[in-house]
Structure 1
Amino acid sequence: MYKALMIEDHKEVRDFVKEYFNHKEIEVVEAQNGYEGLSLLDDTIDIILLDIMMPGIDGYEVCKQIRSQYNTLIVFISALSEDENQLKAYEYGADDYITKPFKPSLLYAKCLALLKRNKKIETNQLQSGKVILDLDKHVLVIEENDIALTDKEFKLLRYLMENQGIVLSREKILDALWGYDYYGDGRAVDTYIKRLRKRLENYSYYIQTVVKIGYIWKGEES
Protein backbone atom coordinates (compact mmCIF):
# COMPACT_ATOMS: atom_id res chain seq x y z
CA MET A 1 0.00 0.00 0.00
CA TYR A 2 1.34 3.42 -1.01
CA LYS A 3 0.64 6.64 0.86
CA ALA A 4 -0.31 9.93 -0.82
CA LEU A 5 -0.55 13.38 0.73
CA MET A 6 -3.17 15.52 -1.01
CA ILE A 7 -2.74 19.26 -0.46
CA GLU A 8 -5.92 20.85 -1.78
CA ASP A 9 -8.16 23.58 -0.35
CA HIS A 10 -11.41 22.29 -1.90
CA LYS A 11 -12.90 19.57 0.27
CA GLU A 12 -15.05 18.17 -2.51
CA VAL A 13 -11.96 17.50 -4.63
CA ARG A 14 -10.18 15.83 -1.70
CA ASP A 15 -13.21 13.65 -1.00
CA PHE A 16 -13.56 12.81 -4.70
CA VAL A 17 -9.97 11.58 -4.95
CA LYS A 18 -9.84 9.90 -1.55
CA GLU A 19 -12.97 7.88 -2.25
CA TYR A 20 -11.47 6.47 -5.45
CA PHE A 21 -7.89 5.94 -4.25
CA ASN A 22 -8.65 4.35 -0.88
CA HIS A 23 -10.37 1.39 -2.53
CA LYS A 24 -7.17 0.59 -4.39
CA GLU A 25 -3.42 0.65 -3.65
CA ILE A 26 -2.96 4.26 -2.54
CA GLU A 27 -4.06 5.60 0.84
CA VAL A 28 -4.75 9.35 0.86
CA VAL A 29 -3.90 11.72 3.72
CA GLU A 30 -5.57 15.15 3.44
CA ALA A 31 -4.29 18.69 3.98
CA GLN A 32 -6.49 21.73 3.29
CA ASN A 33 -3.64 24.20 2.69
CA GLY A 34 0.09 24.40 2.10
CA TYR A 35 1.08 24.98 5.72
CA GLU A 36 -0.87 21.96 6.91
CA GLY A 37 0.56 19.89 4.08
CA LEU A 38 4.14 20.75 4.99
CA SER A 39 3.45 19.88 8.64
CA LEU A 40 2.18 16.42 7.62
CA LEU A 41 5.05 15.61 5.30
CA ASP A 42 7.43 12.88 6.45
CA ASP A 43 9.29 9.85 5.09
CA THR A 44 6.13 7.73 5.02
CA ILE A 45 4.66 9.80 2.17
CA ASP A 46 5.28 8.21 -1.24
CA ILE A 47 3.63 10.82 -3.47
CA ILE A 48 2.15 14.32 -3.11
CA LEU A 49 -0.92 15.61 -4.96
CA LEU A 50 -0.55 19.37 -4.96
CA ASP A 51 -2.92 22.16 -5.93
CA ILE A 52 -1.50 25.53 -7.02
CA MET A 53 -4.05 28.16 -6.05
CA MET A 54 -4.47 27.95 -2.29
CA PRO A 55 -4.81 30.60 0.44
CA GLY A 56 -1.73 31.52 2.45
CA ILE A 57 0.93 29.75 0.45
CA ASP A 58 0.59 28.59 -3.14
CA GLY A 59 1.55 25.23 -4.60
CA TYR A 60 4.74 26.51 -6.23
CA GLU A 61 6.15 27.63 -2.89
CA VAL A 62 5.05 24.38 -1.25
CA CYS A 63 6.80 22.43 -3.99
CA LYS A 64 9.95 24.51 -3.54
CA GLN A 65 10.01 23.82 0.20
CA ILE A 66 9.36 20.12 -0.28
CA ARG A 67 12.18 19.83 -2.80
CA SER A 68 14.60 21.42 -0.34
CA GLN A 69 14.10 18.45 2.01
CA TYR A 70 12.58 15.49 0.17
CA ASN A 71 12.72 13.67 -3.16
CA THR A 72 9.08 12.61 -2.82
CA LEU A 73 7.12 12.35 -6.07
CA ILE A 74 4.95 15.43 -6.73
CA VAL A 75 1.95 15.62 -9.07
CA PHE A 76 0.39 19.06 -9.55
CA ILE A 77 -3.40 19.14 -9.88
CA SER A 78 -4.68 22.52 -11.02
CA ALA A 79 -7.34 24.37 -12.98
CA LEU A 80 -4.50 26.40 -14.53
CA SER A 81 -4.04 24.81 -17.94
CA GLU A 82 -1.74 27.33 -19.60
CA ASP A 83 1.67 26.11 -20.74
CA GLU A 84 3.53 28.65 -18.60
CA ASN A 85 1.88 27.31 -15.44
CA GLN A 86 2.85 23.77 -16.28
CA LEU A 87 6.38 24.77 -17.21
CA LYS A 88 6.75 26.63 -13.93
CA ALA A 89 5.57 23.54 -12.03
CA TYR A 90 8.19 21.38 -13.73
CA GLU A 91 10.86 24.01 -13.05
CA TYR A 92 10.00 23.80 -9.35
CA GLY A 93 10.40 20.01 -9.44
CA ALA A 94 7.03 18.50 -10.41
CA ASP A 95 7.02 14.91 -11.69
CA ASP A 96 3.68 15.31 -13.48
CA TYR A 97 0.87 17.82 -14.01
CA ILE A 98 -2.84 17.15 -14.50
CA THR A 99 -5.50 19.79 -15.13
CA LYS A 100 -8.95 20.07 -13.58
CA PRO A 101 -11.49 18.71 -14.20
CA PHE A 102 -10.02 15.22 -14.35
CA LYS A 103 -11.14 11.62 -14.04
CA PRO A 104 -9.97 9.93 -10.83
CA SER A 105 -9.05 6.85 -12.84
CA LEU A 106 -6.58 8.90 -14.93
CA LEU A 107 -5.02 10.53 -11.88
CA TYR A 108 -4.75 7.17 -10.16
CA ALA A 109 -3.13 5.56 -13.21
CA LYS A 110 -0.57 8.35 -13.46
CA CYS A 111 0.26 8.14 -9.75
CA LEU A 112 0.56 4.36 -9.72
CA ALA A 113 2.81 4.37 -12.78
CA LEU A 114 5.11 6.95 -11.16
CA LEU A 115 5.21 5.03 -7.89
CA LYS A 116 6.04 1.70 -9.50
CA ARG A 117 8.68 3.23 -11.74
CA ASN A 118 10.23 5.03 -8.79
CA LYS A 119 10.23 1.86 -6.69
CA LYS A 120 11.95 -0.06 -9.45
CA ILE A 121 14.67 2.59 -9.71
CA GLU A 122 15.18 2.80 -5.94
CA THR A 123 15.40 -0.94 -5.39
CA ASN A 124 17.39 -1.72 -8.55
CA GLN A 125 15.21 -4.63 -9.57
CA LEU A 126 13.85 -6.19 -12.71
CA GLN A 127 10.27 -7.36 -12.38
CA SER A 128 8.16 -9.35 -14.78
CA GLY A 129 4.83 -10.62 -13.55
CA LYS A 130 5.40 -12.47 -10.28
CA VAL A 131 9.16 -12.77 -10.81
CA ILE A 132 11.66 -10.25 -9.41
CA LEU A 133 15.40 -10.25 -10.05
CA ASP A 134 17.24 -8.25 -7.39
CA LEU A 135 20.27 -6.79 -9.14
CA ASP A 136 21.95 -5.73 -5.89
CA LYS A 137 21.54 -8.96 -3.96
CA HIS A 138 21.97 -11.19 -7.04
CA VAL A 139 18.94 -13.27 -6.07
CA LEU A 140 15.67 -14.33 -7.63
CA VAL A 141 12.63 -13.30 -5.58
CA ILE A 142 9.34 -15.16 -5.94
CA GLU A 143 6.43 -14.47 -3.59
CA GLU A 144 8.82 -12.76 -1.14
CA ASN A 145 11.15 -15.80 -1.05
CA ASP A 146 14.81 -15.32 -2.02
CA ILE A 147 16.15 -18.02 -4.33
CA ALA A 148 19.92 -18.27 -4.77
CA LEU A 149 21.32 -18.39 -8.31
CA THR A 150 24.73 -19.23 -9.66
CA ASP A 151 26.51 -16.42 -11.50
CA LYS A 152 25.68 -17.88 -14.91
CA GLU A 153 22.04 -18.51 -13.97
CA PHE A 154 21.74 -14.93 -12.77
CA LYS A 155 23.25 -13.50 -15.96
CA LEU A 156 21.04 -15.68 -18.16
CA LEU A 157 17.86 -14.74 -16.29
CA ARG A 158 18.78 -11.07 -16.44
CA TYR A 159 19.44 -11.31 -20.18
CA LEU A 160 16.08 -12.99 -20.78
CA MET A 161 14.14 -10.52 -18.65
CA GLU A 162 15.81 -7.47 -20.18
CA ASN A 163 14.75 -8.79 -23.59
CA GLN A 164 11.17 -9.72 -22.70
CA GLY A 165 9.09 -10.57 -25.76
CA ILE A 166 12.14 -11.00 -28.01
CA VAL A 167 13.09 -14.40 -29.42
CA LEU A 168 16.72 -15.10 -28.53
CA SER A 169 18.57 -17.74 -30.51
CA ARG A 170 20.92 -20.13 -28.74
CA GLU A 171 23.80 -18.54 -30.64
CA LYS A 172 22.86 -15.06 -29.48
CA ILE A 173 22.62 -16.22 -25.88
CA LEU A 174 25.97 -17.98 -26.15
CA ASP A 175 27.62 -14.84 -27.53
CA ALA A 176 26.09 -12.63 -24.82
CA LEU A 177 26.93 -14.86 -21.86
CA TRP A 178 29.83 -17.07 -22.90
CA GLY A 179 31.55 -14.78 -25.41
CA TYR A 180 32.37 -15.04 -29.09
CA ASP A 181 35.35 -17.30 -28.46
CA TYR A 182 33.29 -20.03 -26.79
CA TYR A 183 33.70 -23.34 -28.63
CA GLY A 184 30.77 -25.24 -27.13
CA ASP A 185 27.32 -25.64 -28.67
CA GLY A 186 23.76 -24.67 -27.82
CA ARG A 187 23.35 -27.55 -25.40
CA ALA A 188 24.99 -25.40 -22.72
CA VAL A 189 22.15 -22.91 -23.10
CA ASP A 190 19.56 -25.71 -22.91
CA THR A 191 21.14 -26.97 -19.69
CA TYR A 192 21.00 -23.58 -18.01
CA ILE A 193 17.46 -22.92 -19.23
CA LYS A 194 16.45 -26.22 -17.61
CA ARG A 195 18.08 -25.10 -14.35
CA LEU A 196 16.37 -21.72 -14.48
CA ARG A 197 12.97 -23.28 -15.05
CA LYS A 198 13.53 -25.39 -11.95
CA ARG A 199 14.41 -22.24 -9.96
CA LEU A 200 11.29 -20.48 -11.25
CA GLU A 201 9.09 -23.30 -9.95
CA ASN A 202 5.43 -22.43 -10.67
CA TYR A 203 6.54 -19.69 -13.06
CA SER A 204 8.77 -21.84 -15.28
CA TYR A 205 6.33 -21.18 -18.11
CA TYR A 206 7.62 -17.59 -18.25
CA ILE A 207 10.43 -19.05 -20.39
CA GLN A 208 9.07 -20.49 -23.61
CA THR A 209 10.90 -22.59 -26.18
CA VAL A 210 10.90 -21.44 -29.78
CA VAL A 211 11.38 -24.61 -31.79
CA LYS A 212 14.65 -24.82 -33.76
CA ILE A 213 15.61 -21.28 -32.71
CA GLY A 214 15.97 -20.68 -28.98
CA TYR A 215 13.97 -19.13 -26.16
CA ILE A 216 11.75 -16.19 -25.27
CA TRP A 217 10.84 -14.64 -21.91
CA LYS A 218 7.08 -14.09 -21.99
CA GLY A 219 6.28 -13.25 -18.36
CA GLU A 220 2.57 -12.88 -17.69
CA GLU A 221 1.80 -12.64 -21.39
CA SER A 222 2.15 -16.38 -21.86
Structure 2
Amino acid sequence: MHSILVVDDDPNIRELVGFYLKREGYHFVEAADGKEALEKLEINTIQLAIVDIMMPNMDGYELCEQIRSYYDIPILMLTAKGEITDKEKAYAAGTDDYVIKPFEPQEILFRVKALLRRFQMVNEESIHIGNLVIDRNNYEIDLLGKRLVLPMKEFELLAQFASYPGRTFSREQLIELVWGYDYDGNDRTVDVHVKRLRERFNGDLAGFSIRTIRGLGYKLEE
Protein backbone atom coordinates (compact mmCIF):
# COMPACT_ATOMS: atom_id res chain seq x y z
CA MET A 1 0.00 0.00 0.00
CA HIS A 2 1.38 3.41 -0.99
CA SER A 3 1.49 6.09 1.72
CA ILE A 4 0.62 9.61 0.58
CA LEU A 5 1.49 12.68 2.67
CA VAL A 6 -0.92 15.63 2.31
CA VAL A 7 0.43 18.93 3.63
CA ASP A 8 -2.03 21.83 3.86
CA ASP A 9 -2.95 24.27 6.62
CA ASP A 10 -6.64 23.96 5.65
CA PRO A 11 -8.10 20.92 7.48
CA ASN A 12 -11.01 20.79 5.02
CA ILE A 13 -8.60 20.31 2.10
CA ARG A 14 -6.74 17.59 3.99
CA GLU A 15 -10.00 15.85 4.82
CA LEU A 16 -11.28 16.03 1.23
CA VAL A 17 -8.09 14.77 -0.38
CA GLY A 18 -7.63 12.17 2.33
CA PHE A 19 -11.14 10.80 1.77
CA TYR A 20 -10.50 10.16 -1.92
CA LEU A 21 -7.03 8.76 -1.33
CA LYS A 22 -8.30 6.28 1.27
CA ARG A 23 -11.18 5.31 -1.00
CA GLU A 24 -8.60 4.36 -3.65
CA GLY A 25 -6.72 2.22 -1.15
CA TYR A 26 -3.85 4.59 -0.29
CA HIS A 27 -2.59 5.10 3.24
CA PHE A 28 -3.21 8.74 4.17
CA VAL A 29 -0.80 10.79 6.29
CA GLU A 30 -1.51 14.48 6.97
CA ALA A 31 0.39 17.54 8.18
CA ALA A 32 -0.69 21.15 8.72
CA ASP A 33 2.58 22.82 7.69
CA GLY A 34 6.07 22.13 6.41
CA LYS A 35 7.66 21.54 9.81
CA GLU A 36 5.06 18.97 10.79
CA ALA A 37 5.46 17.37 7.34
CA LEU A 38 9.19 16.83 7.91
CA GLU A 39 8.39 15.21 11.24
CA LYS A 40 5.91 12.86 9.56
CA LEU A 41 8.47 12.00 6.87
CA GLU A 42 10.94 10.93 9.55
CA ILE A 43 8.58 8.39 11.11
CA ASN A 44 6.60 7.21 8.06
CA THR A 45 7.64 5.61 4.78
CA ILE A 46 6.08 8.00 2.28
CA GLN A 47 5.85 7.31 -1.46
CA LEU A 48 4.42 10.70 -2.58
CA ALA A 49 3.79 14.15 -1.09
CA ILE A 50 0.94 16.55 -1.95
CA VAL A 51 2.05 20.00 -0.80
CA ASP A 52 0.30 23.36 -0.47
CA ILE A 53 2.41 26.50 -1.03
CA MET A 54 0.99 29.10 1.37
CA MET A 55 1.44 27.67 4.87
CA PRO A 56 2.68 29.00 8.23
CA ASN A 57 6.08 28.09 9.75
CA MET A 58 7.45 26.66 6.49
CA ASP A 59 5.89 27.28 3.08
CA GLY A 60 5.57 24.76 0.29
CA TYR A 61 8.59 26.02 -1.66
CA GLU A 62 10.95 25.46 1.26
CA LEU A 63 9.34 22.13 2.11
CA CYS A 64 9.72 21.00 -1.49
CA GLU A 65 13.44 21.86 -1.39
CA GLN A 66 13.83 20.00 1.91
CA ILE A 67 12.11 16.91 0.54
CA ARG A 68 14.27 17.01 -2.58
CA SER A 69 17.40 17.18 -0.41
CA TYR A 70 16.63 14.16 1.76
CA TYR A 71 13.94 12.01 0.10
CA ASP A 72 13.55 10.48 -3.34
CA ILE A 73 9.79 10.77 -3.77
CA PRO A 74 7.53 12.57 -6.26
CA ILE A 75 5.90 15.86 -5.20
CA LEU A 76 2.56 17.33 -6.31
CA MET A 77 1.96 21.01 -5.55
CA LEU A 78 -1.67 21.82 -4.73
CA THR A 79 -2.21 25.56 -4.48
CA ALA A 80 -4.29 28.63 -5.25
CA LYS A 81 -1.23 30.41 -6.70
CA GLY A 82 -1.60 30.04 -10.46
CA GLU A 83 0.63 32.70 -12.02
CA ILE A 84 3.40 31.56 -14.34
CA THR A 85 6.00 32.98 -11.93
CA ASP A 86 4.54 30.84 -9.13
CA LYS A 87 4.77 27.74 -11.31
CA GLU A 88 8.33 28.58 -12.29
CA LYS A 89 9.29 28.93 -8.64
CA ALA A 90 7.57 25.65 -7.76
CA TYR A 91 9.32 23.68 -10.50
CA ALA A 92 12.64 25.30 -9.58
CA ALA A 93 12.06 24.11 -6.00
CA GLY A 94 11.68 20.56 -7.32
CA THR A 95 8.00 19.78 -7.70
CA ASP A 96 6.99 17.13 -10.24
CA ASP A 97 3.46 18.38 -10.90
CA TYR A 98 1.26 21.39 -10.12
CA VAL A 99 -2.53 21.61 -9.58
CA ILE A 100 -4.39 24.88 -9.01
CA LYS A 101 -7.24 25.24 -6.50
CA PRO A 102 -10.16 24.81 -6.82
CA PHE A 103 -9.63 21.29 -8.11
CA GLU A 104 -11.50 18.10 -8.89
CA PRO A 105 -10.50 15.36 -6.41
CA GLN A 106 -10.60 12.82 -9.23
CA GLU A 107 -7.92 14.81 -11.07
CA ILE A 108 -5.68 14.55 -8.01
CA LEU A 109 -6.04 10.77 -8.13
CA PHE A 110 -5.15 10.67 -11.84
CA ARG A 111 -2.02 12.70 -11.22
CA VAL A 112 -1.03 10.71 -8.13
CA LYS A 113 -1.24 7.45 -10.10
CA ALA A 114 0.79 8.95 -12.96
CA LEU A 115 3.50 10.25 -10.63
CA LEU A 116 3.80 6.92 -8.81
CA ARG A 117 4.05 5.13 -12.16
CA ARG A 118 6.82 7.47 -13.35
CA PHE A 119 8.68 7.09 -10.06
CA GLN A 120 8.66 3.30 -10.41
CA MET A 121 10.18 3.69 -13.90
CA VAL A 122 13.16 5.56 -12.45
CA ASN A 123 14.16 2.54 -10.39
CA GLU A 124 14.09 0.15 -13.34
CA GLU A 125 17.27 -0.85 -15.16
CA SER A 126 15.56 -0.37 -18.53
CA ILE A 127 13.32 2.54 -19.42
CA HIS A 128 10.71 2.09 -22.16
CA ILE A 129 9.62 5.34 -23.78
CA GLY A 130 7.97 5.59 -27.18
CA ASN A 131 9.84 3.16 -29.45
CA LEU A 132 13.02 3.32 -27.36
CA VAL A 133 14.43 1.00 -24.72
CA ILE A 134 17.08 2.77 -22.64
CA ASP A 135 19.51 0.37 -20.96
CA ARG A 136 20.88 2.27 -17.99
CA ASN A 137 23.35 -0.47 -17.08
CA ASN A 138 25.14 -0.61 -20.43
CA TYR A 139 24.43 2.98 -21.52
CA GLU A 140 22.85 1.73 -24.74
CA ILE A 141 19.63 2.55 -26.57
CA ASP A 142 17.51 0.25 -28.69
CA LEU A 143 15.34 1.94 -31.33
CA LEU A 144 13.13 -0.64 -33.04
CA GLY A 145 15.90 -3.22 -32.93
CA LYS A 146 18.69 -0.83 -33.88
CA ARG A 147 21.43 -0.36 -31.26
CA LEU A 148 22.53 3.21 -30.61
CA VAL A 149 25.33 4.58 -28.45
CA LEU A 150 25.05 8.25 -27.43
CA PRO A 151 27.62 10.57 -25.89
CA MET A 152 27.40 10.22 -22.10
CA LYS A 153 25.69 13.53 -21.30
CA GLU A 154 23.14 13.09 -24.09
CA PHE A 155 22.36 9.62 -22.75
CA GLU A 156 22.00 10.86 -19.18
CA LEU A 157 19.83 13.79 -20.25
CA LEU A 158 17.55 11.53 -22.31
CA ALA A 159 17.32 9.03 -19.45
CA GLN A 160 16.39 11.84 -17.06
CA PHE A 161 13.58 13.04 -19.34
CA ALA A 162 12.37 9.49 -20.05
CA SER A 163 12.27 8.62 -16.35
CA TYR A 164 9.67 11.36 -15.79
CA PRO A 165 7.56 11.69 -18.96
CA GLY A 166 5.34 14.75 -18.72
CA ARG A 167 7.41 16.43 -16.01
CA THR A 168 8.79 19.90 -16.75
CA PHE A 169 12.45 20.43 -15.86
CA SER A 170 14.09 23.84 -15.66
CA ARG A 171 17.56 24.28 -17.14
CA GLU A 172 18.93 24.72 -13.63
CA GLN A 173 17.43 21.41 -12.48
CA LEU A 174 18.84 19.57 -15.49
CA ILE A 175 22.29 21.05 -14.93
CA GLU A 176 22.24 19.80 -11.33
CA LEU A 177 20.83 16.37 -12.23
CA VAL A 178 23.01 15.64 -15.27
CA TRP A 179 26.12 17.82 -15.00
CA GLY A 180 26.27 18.11 -11.19
CA TYR A 181 26.20 20.89 -8.61
CA ASP A 182 29.83 21.84 -9.27
CA TYR A 183 29.31 22.50 -12.99
CA ASP A 184 30.49 26.04 -13.72
CA GLY A 185 29.55 26.29 -17.40
CA ASN A 186 26.64 28.09 -19.04
CA ASP A 187 23.19 26.54 -18.54
CA ARG A 188 22.64 27.00 -22.29
CA THR A 189 24.55 23.76 -22.70
CA VAL A 190 21.19 22.13 -21.92
CA ASP A 191 19.72 23.78 -25.03
CA VAL A 192 22.56 22.41 -27.15
CA HIS A 193 22.09 18.86 -25.87
CA VAL A 194 18.30 19.03 -26.27
CA LYS A 195 18.80 20.17 -29.87
CA ARG A 196 21.07 17.18 -30.53
CA LEU A 197 18.54 14.78 -29.02
CA ARG A 198 15.79 16.25 -31.17
CA GLU A 199 17.95 15.81 -34.26
CA ARG A 200 18.64 12.17 -33.37
CA PHE A 201 15.06 11.30 -32.48
CA ASN A 202 12.88 13.41 -34.73
CA GLY A 203 9.53 12.59 -36.30
CA ASP A 204 7.20 9.72 -35.40
CA LEU A 205 9.91 7.02 -35.46
CA ALA A 206 11.00 7.58 -31.86
CA GLY A 207 7.45 7.85 -30.51
CA PHE A 208 8.16 10.86 -28.31
CA SER A 209 9.16 14.52 -28.46
CA ILE A 210 10.98 16.94 -26.17
CA ARG A 211 8.87 20.07 -25.83
CA THR A 212 10.01 23.53 -24.88
CA ILE A 213 7.82 24.95 -22.09
CA ARG A 214 8.16 28.69 -22.45
CA GLY A 215 9.50 30.38 -19.36
CA LEU A 216 9.97 27.07 -17.53
CA GLY A 217 12.17 24.58 -19.39
CA TYR A 218 11.65 21.27 -21.17
CA LYS A 219 9.59 18.11 -20.88
CA LEU A 220 9.34 14.82 -22.76
CA GLU A 221 5.96 13.74 -24.15
CA GLU A 222 5.03 10.41 -25.68
Misfit runs of 4+, over 4 Å? none
Match of 1:31 in 2: 31
After TM superposition, the score normalised by the length of structure 2 is 0.56
Mapping of 1:1-222 within 5 angstroms? 1-42=1-42, 44-124=45-125
Matches of 1:118 and 1:12, distance apart in 2: 28
Match of 2:209 in 1: none
Structure 1 position 123, deviation (Å)? 3.0
Structure 1 position 90, deviation (Å)? 0.2
Kindly provide the amino acid, as one letter, of the partner of residue 33 in structure 1.
D
Match of 1:154 in 2: none
Structure 1 position 121, deviation (Å)? 2.4
Instruction: Note the alpha carbon deviations across 1:10-38, whole angstroms, 9 max, x for none.
Output: 00000000111101142220001111001
Alignment size in residue pairs: 138
Larger radius of gyration: 1
Matches of 2:122 and 2:70, distance apart in 1: 20
Matches of 2:118 and 2:68, distance apart in 1: 19
Matches of 1:124 and 1:79, distance apart in 2: 38
Structure 1 position 55, deviation (Å)? 1.1
Q: Is residue 4–residue 49 contact of structure 2 (8 Å, CA) maintained in 1?
A: yes
Kindly provide the amino acid, as one letter, of the partner of residue 61 in structure 1.
E
Kindly provide the amino acid, as one letter, of the partner of residue 83 in structure 2.
E
Structure 1 position 44, deviation (Å)? 1.4
Q: Is residue 82–residue 100 contact of structure 2 (8 Å, CA) maintained in 1?
A: yes
Matches of 1:119 and 1:23, distance apart in 2: 22
Q: Is residue 73–residue 119 contact of structure 2 (8 Å, CA) maintained in 1?
A: no
Instruction: Note the alpha carbon deviations across 1:115-140, whole angstroms, 9 max, x for none.
Output: 0121122133679xxxxxxx89xxxx
Instruction: Note the alpha carbon deviations across 1:19-75, whole angstroms, 9 max, x for none.
Output: 111011422200011110011114711110000101111111111111121121111
- The verdict on how the C-alpha distance between 1:86 and 1:123 changes in structure 2, with shifts beyond 3 A counting, is same
Q: Is residue 3–residue 45 contact of structure 2 (8 Å, CA) maintained in 1?
A: yes
Structure 1 position 2, deviation (Å)? 1.1
Matches of 1:121 and 1:57, distance apart in 2: 29
What's the RMSD between the two structures over aligned residues?
A: 2.7
Instruction: Note the alpha carbon deviations across 1:72-107, whole angstroms, 9 max, x for none.
Output: 111110001111001100000000000001011101
After TM superposition, the score normalised by the length of structure 1 is 0.56
Matches of 2:123 and 2:7, distance apart in 1: 25
Kindly provide the amino acid, as one letter, of the partner of residue 38 in structure 2.
L
Matches of 2:65 and 2:122, distance apart in 1: 23
Unaligned regions of 5+ residues in structure 1, if any? 128-134, 137-158, 164-172, 178-222
